[in-house]
Structures are given as structure tokens and as C-alpha cells.
């Protein structure tokens, strides 16, 4: 609470509203009692000015272009940390000691296999299913396989569910990919790192040995870290809202995956690479810039713009450097998609439309270029986002469930339908 005080004047009455102070960021006007006292709701579709919860996990300063996980800047973590260390940080609040990290790594590694019966479950999906469609179904179905981690009121079961989720999502995403390719599933290999194991499950085949490239392993680990959490974004809010009713954690994460799939959110990485390829050559960029500026075209520059960032998305900066580095290390020079991306970024950042609306490249702008260079089809981009974000979803879900006064999420509305009216018999209509 701060010394600041907000007062709402409604007709001739005044209502004092407490102002809450965060660790960093803008103060928050507490309107919880407003309806009870003044009989009015507040209206904020899209939550542009509404803090929906308290959280101690991730902080974003959209004007500065800053992203902190538990206080640590994303740039430092991307340079010095690993995805599993970041998972520990997000889940438990502090960087682990060497022993804590070894223990956590062992726990995650030992949970990477999925129940064998789940293999048969995959066969119910059409062979050409999008891997996200398969993932929504299979992750939801985990609640039918892991009955010993469904009781949300038991902290130990919540912990087991969290570890299972972080451990098994890469296995499930790789299985969805293999299924879509008509190739056999590859079991997890515990001698490999988290990222290395995922690459192996995606690209190994029984017919020949697959050796995980350290370059790709590091790049994949970094992609996972950069996507690990992002405050109260749409999919995280979906997980929280689903969880607020007491639904089990597997069902909640399945809901998050469904939300992530949309092109305004995690689906943007697939849409962005497809757009860059459609543009094809730098000379066609002005045509697409003009289309993006034309409201009637319905076209937006994918990988551009963000609800919170009104400056460079710090993840996009790291991703751009990574794209250069990975392509270089892989010996891919003059990649036409990267050339189009860089030129598109340059032109857009000099254009009055994008400058005035503060539209900058976001995390999805460069990630697809790296993932494609690694050998992934575009349909796997969003599943990789889902694997990476799982730890953020589950950390936020755990944080919410552990809150003492946690309530079911229940927004209200501004009703604009018909006024009360009487039923008219069919023959009289």
C-alpha cells in the first residue's frame, strides 16, 4: 500500500480507492470493493489496464524493453544460464546451488518418459494433424494417466505434476512431430541435456545414429530460456483462469496450449516465417509494408508489435544475434529469409506508421529462422514455444494455488443484449 489515494467521483458521491505499490512498475488502484460500494463495474476488455493477480515471478517494463525472471535480466540469463536452471529459478524463486541444480536435473530427467499406453493414444489423431492439435489432446489426456498428481490441495502432488510437465512436454511434442512424419517414436535418452534430448527425440531414427550438434543444442536451450515465462500473457492467464476453478494441472496446461496456438500469440512464429517466405525477396518488402499499413487489407506484419513492449522486445534482440550466430556456425551464408527479415525490420523501423504506433520486432520475428535452420518444419515452431513456456505456466499455476485467498476468476460484463422481454409462442412470431 502507498500513501497515494485514488478517488472516484460518481455523481455527487466520492469513493476512496486504495493504491497498491509493486516492487517495480506502476502503482495499482485497488477496485475490489467498488462494485459492492458503488454498484458499478469497470470496463477493460483485453485487460489493457487491469492487473489480474499478484505475482512474484516475471516483470516486464514495456517502455524500456526490459524482461526480468525473478529479478534477473533476460540478457544475463540468455548468456550465462541454461533452460533447466531457469526452470528452477521460475519454479522456486532463486538460482539453485550446484547440489540443488543436480537434484532438480535428475528429477526432471527421470520423468521424461510417458506412460507406454500414451503411445497408442496418438494413433487416434489423423496422420496430418498439426502437432499443436495433437499436443492439446495428449497433454489434456495426461490427467487420465497420472492420478497420483491430480490433487491440487496437496503441495507434494502439485510439485510432482510440475516436474512431470516440464519433463514430459518435450517428449510429447517430439512424439507429435514423429507421428506427423510417419516415423517411429524415439524414447528419451537420459544421458543427454534437456535440449539435446528433445533434438534427439525429433531427429533420430532407428536406421542410423544421430549425434546432437552442440551448436544446435545450445541454440535450442537458449530459445527455450527466452520463451520460459512472460508475465500475465494470454496463455498464462488462460492457465490461471482454468486453474482458478480447481481444475487439475494437466487440464490447465492443455488450455494454455490451446490459447498459445493463436496467430496473435505463439502461433505468430509459424505465421512470421511463412510471411517472410511469401515476401521472398527484399524488393517485395514495400508492397507488404503498404499492406500492413492498410487497415482494410486485414494483413499485419507477423512478429511485429506487442501489447506490453513499446520498445524492442529484449528477447528479439537476443534471438537476432542467435540467428546470425547459428546460421554462421552451420555454414549457412546469405540465407534469403534472414536477409528479408533484416531488411523488413530496417524499413519498418524507419517508417512513420510503425514508429508512431511503437511497433518493434517481437520474439517471434527471428526464432523461426533459427528453428528452420535446425531442420524443423514451421508446424513445430509453436509446439517448441509450448514446451518452453510450460515452466512459466506451471510456476504461475503453483503460485496461484498456493495463495491463501485464491478465488475463482469470474469477470463481469457490460451487457448490451435485449432488455427483459416475454416469450412469444411459435405461431405468433
Task: Please list the active-site residues.
Answer: 306, 364
Tell me which of 364, 367, 373, 397 binds ligand CMC, using CB under 6 A.
364
Minimum separation from the CB atom of position 233 to ligand CMC (A): 5
Contact of 311 with 63, CB cutoff 8 Å: yes
For residue 233, state whether it binds ligand CMC (rule: CB under 6 A). yes
DSSP letter at 70 equals T
Residue 243 makes contact with ligand CMC by CB under 6 A:
no
Question: Judged by CB under 6 A, which of 137, 170, 243, 266 binds ligand CMC?
Answer: 266
Q: What Rg, from alpha-carbon coordinates, does the chain have?
A: 23
Q: Judged by CB under 6 A, does residue 362 bind ligand CMC?
A: yes
Q: Looking at the DSSP assignment, which residues form a beta bridge with residue 28? A: 20
Give yes or no for a contact between 168 and 265, defined as CB atoms under 8 angstroms apart.
no
* Residue 345 within binding range of ligand CMC, rule CB under 6 A: no
3-state SS assignment for residue 409? coil
Grid look-up 524414447 returns 187
- Closest CB to ligand CMC among residues 141, 384: 384
Pick 37 or 75: Cβ nearer ligand CMC = 75
| Candidate segments 56-64, 112-120, 149-157, 355-363, binder of ligand CMC by CB under 6 A | 355-363
3-state secondary structure of 230: strand
Q: Are the beta carbons of 35 and 283 closer than 8 angstroms?
A: no
Residues 300-329 that bind ligand CMC (CB under 6 A): 300-307
Cβ proximity of 62 and 308 under 8 Å: yes
Beta-carbon neighbour count of residue 114 at 10 Å? 23
Identify whether the C-beta of residue 291 lies closer than 8 Å to the C-beta of residue 344.
no
The cell numbers describing 154, all together, are 496437496
Q: What values do phi and psi take at 44, rounded to 5?
A: -155, 65
Distance between CA atoms of residues 383 and 388, nearest Å: 9
CB of 309 vs ligand CMC, minimal distance in Å = 8
Q: Which stretch binds ligand CMC (CB under 6 A): 150-158, 161-169, 236-244, 258-266?
A: 258-266
Q: By CB under 6 A, which span of 2-10, 61-69, 99-107, 359-367 interacts with ligand CMC? A: 359-367
Q: Which candidate, 112, 83, 229, 239, places its Cα nearest to that of 174?
A: 112
359 binds ligand CMC (CB under 6 A): yes
Asked if 64 is part of the footprint of ligand CMC (rule: CB under 6 A), the reply reads no
- Nearer to ligand CMC by C-beta: 186 or 279? 279
Residue 237 interacts with ligand CMC (CB under 6 A): yes or no: no
Beta bridge partners of 73: 68
- Binding residue (CB under 6 A) for ligand CMC from 78, 91, 363, 394: 363
Of 201 and 391, which has the nearer Cβ to ligand CMC? 391
Closest approach, Cβ 203 to ligand CMC, in A, equals 25
Ramachandran region, residue 188 (left: φ > 0; alpha: ψ -120 to 50; beta: rest): beta
The answer to whether 239 contacts ligand CMC (rule: CB under 6 A) is no
All three cell numbers of 206: 532407428
Give the β-pairing of 58-61 and 66-69: antiparallel
Give how far the C-alpha of residue 167 lies from the chain's centroid of Cα atoms, to the nearest Å: 17
Q: How far is the CB of 58 from ligand CMC (least distance, A)?
A: 13
Determine the size of the site formed for ligand CMC (CB under 6 A). Answer: 19
CB of 102 to ligand CMC, least distance (A): 32
Print the binding letters for residues 384-413 with ligand CMC: x by CB under 6 A, - otherwise.
------------------------------
Is 111 in a helix, a strand, or coil? coil
Cell of 99: 547440489
> Which of 67, 169, 268, 327 contacts ligand CMC by CB under 6 A?
268
Is 49 an interacting residue with respect to ligand CMC (CB under 6 A)? no
State the greatest distance between any 2 C-alpha atoms of the chain, in Å, as a whole number: 80
Contact present, 368 and 273 (Cβ < 8 Å): yes
Residue 287 CB, nearest approach to ligand CMC (Å): 14
Residues of this chain that interact with ligand CMC (CB under 6 A) are: 233, 264-266, 268, 292, 300-307, 357, 359, 362-364
Amino acid at each position: 500500500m502507498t500513501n497515494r489515494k485514488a478517488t472516484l467521483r460518481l455523481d455527487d458521491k466520492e469513493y476512496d480507492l486504495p493504491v497498491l505499490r509493486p516492487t517495480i512498475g506502476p502503482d495499482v488502484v485497488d477496485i475490489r470493493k467498488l462494485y459492492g460500494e458503488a454498484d458499478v463495474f469497470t470496463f477493460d476488455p483485453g485487460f489493457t489496464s487491469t492487473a489480474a493477480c499478484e505475482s512474484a515471478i516475471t516483470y516486464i517494463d514495456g517502455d524500456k524493453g526490459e524482461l526480468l525472471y525473478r529479478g534477473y535480466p533476460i540478457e544475463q540469463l540468455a548468456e550465462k544460464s541454461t533452460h533447466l536452471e531457469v526452470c528452477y529459478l521460475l519454479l522456486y524463486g532463486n538460482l539453485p546451488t550446484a547440489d540443488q541444480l543436480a537434484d532438480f536435473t535428475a528429477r526432471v530427467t527421470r520423468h521424461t518418459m510417458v506412460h507406454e499406453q500414451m503411445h497408442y493414444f496418438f494413433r487416434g489423431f489423423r496422420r496430418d494433424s498439426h502437432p499443436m492439435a495433437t499436443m492439446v489432446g495428449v497433454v489434456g489426456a495426461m490427467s487420465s494417466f497420472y492420478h497420483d498428481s491430480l490433487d491440487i490441495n496437496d503441495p507434494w502432488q502439485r510439485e510432482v505434476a510440475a516436474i512431470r510437465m516440464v519433463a514430459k512436454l518435450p517428449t510429447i511434442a517430439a512424439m507429435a512431430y514423429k507421428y506427423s512424419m510417419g516415423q517411429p517414436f524415439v524414447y528419451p535418452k537420459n544421458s543427454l541435456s534437456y535440449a539435446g534430448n528433445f533434438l534427439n527425440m525429433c531427429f533420430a531414427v532407428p536406421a542410423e545414429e544421430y549425434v546432437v550438434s552442440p551448436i544446435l543444442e545450445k541454440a535450442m536451450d537458449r530459445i527455450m530460456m527466452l520463451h520460459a515465462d512472460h508475465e500475465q500473457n494470454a496463455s498464462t492467464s488462460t492457465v490461471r483462469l482454468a486453474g482458478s476453478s480447481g481444475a487439475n494441472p494437466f487440464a490447465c496446461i492443455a488450455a494454455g496450449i490451446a490459447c498459445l496456438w493463436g496467430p496473435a500469440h505463439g502461433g505468430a512464429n509459424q505465421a512470421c516465417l511463412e510471411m517472410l517466405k511469401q515476401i521472398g525477396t527484399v524488393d517485395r518488402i514495400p508492397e507488404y509494408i503498404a499492406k500492413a499499413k492498410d487497415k482494410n487489407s486485414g494483413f499485419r506484419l507477423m512478429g511485429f508489435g506487442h501489447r506490453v513492449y513499446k520498445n524492442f522486445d529484449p528477447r528479439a534482440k537476443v534471438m537476432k544475434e542467435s540467428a546470425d550466430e547459428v546460421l554462421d556456425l552451420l555454414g549457412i551464408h546469405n540465407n534469403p529469409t534472414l536477409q528479408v527479415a533484416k531488411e523488413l525490420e530496417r524499413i519498418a523501423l524507419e517508417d512513420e506508421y510503425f514508429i508512431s504506433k511503437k511497433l518493434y520486432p517481437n520474439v517471434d520475428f527471428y526464432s523461426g529462422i533459427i528453428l528452420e535452420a535446425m531442420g524443423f518444419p514451421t508446424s513445430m515452431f509453436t509446439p517448441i514455444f509450448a514446451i518452453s513456456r510450460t515452466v512459466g505456466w506451471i510456476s504461475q499455476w503453483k503460485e496461484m494455488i498456493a495463495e491463501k485467498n485464491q478465488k475463482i476468476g469470474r469477470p463481469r460484463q457490460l451487457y448490451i443484449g435485449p432488455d427483459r422481454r416475454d416469450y412469444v409462442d411459435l405461431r405468433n412470431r
